[in-house]
Amino acid sequence: MSNVIVKGKKLWRIPSRGKVKGVCAGIADYFEIPVRLVRVIVVLSMFFGLFMFTLIAYFGLAFVLDEMPRDMANQGEKLPSAGELLDNLSAELNGGERQLREMERYVTSETFSVRSRFGQL
């Protein structure tokens, strides 16, 4: 079977991360997007009049694409969950907010006022 190869990347089926045959997981891995997004797109395409086309494309890809070797599937690092990403973002924003408050406190203080007047002399 042949796989799609672009810029050193291959399109594989990843049954270990998939629900049916691993096609959505393979597409998500190839395009580096969340698997849930691909699954939502597939389900929505089925509801909006592309039911037969989606089924034929899905099972056609399931037949054409090779299964990703287990050693390659295990090499990928675990991606952080959405909750972990939001926690990291929140921590970074809180750190930036803290720095901004300290700078604001200094700029509005008497020390800054005195130093800026000495600097103008």
SS (H, E, C) the chain: CCCCEECCEECCECHHHCCCCCHHHHHHHHHCCCHHHHHHHHHHHHHCCCHHHHHHHHHHHHHHCCECCHHHHHHCCCCCCHHHHHHHHHHHHHHHHHHHHHHHHHHCCHHHHHHHHHHHC
Decide if pLDDT at 14 tops 50. Answer: yes
pLDDT tens track for 47-57:
887 888 888 88
Could you tell me if 17 and 40 lie in one domain?
A: yes
Could you tell me if 85 and 36 lie in one domain?
A: no
**Which residues on adjacent β-strands are paired with residue 6?**
9
Decide if pLDDT at 4 tops 70. Answer: no
Could you tell me if 6 and 63 lie in one domain?
A: yes
Tokens in use for 79? 């991606």
pTM: 0.50
Number of domains in the chain: 2
Could you tell me if 118 and 71 lie in one domain?
A: no
Decide if pLDDT at 38 tops 80. Answer: yes
Could you tell me if 75 and 87 lie in one domain?
A: no
Pairwise CA distance, residues 79 & 98, whole Å = 29
Could you tell me if 58 and 99 lie in one domain?
A: no
Tokens in use for 109? 């203080």
Lowest mean pLDDT among 48-52, 56-60, 75-79, 115-119: 75-79
**How does residue 71 score in pLDDT terms, banded at 50, 70 and 90?**
low
Q: Residue 45 belongs to what domain range?
A: 1-79
Pairwise CA distance, residues 54 & 60, whole Å = 10
Could you tell me if 30 and 67 lie in one domain?
A: yes
Could you tell me if 41 and 97 lie in one domain?
A: no
Q: When comparing pLDDT for 76 and 12, which is higher?
A: 12
As a whole-number percent, the residues of the chain with pLDDT over 70 amount to 84
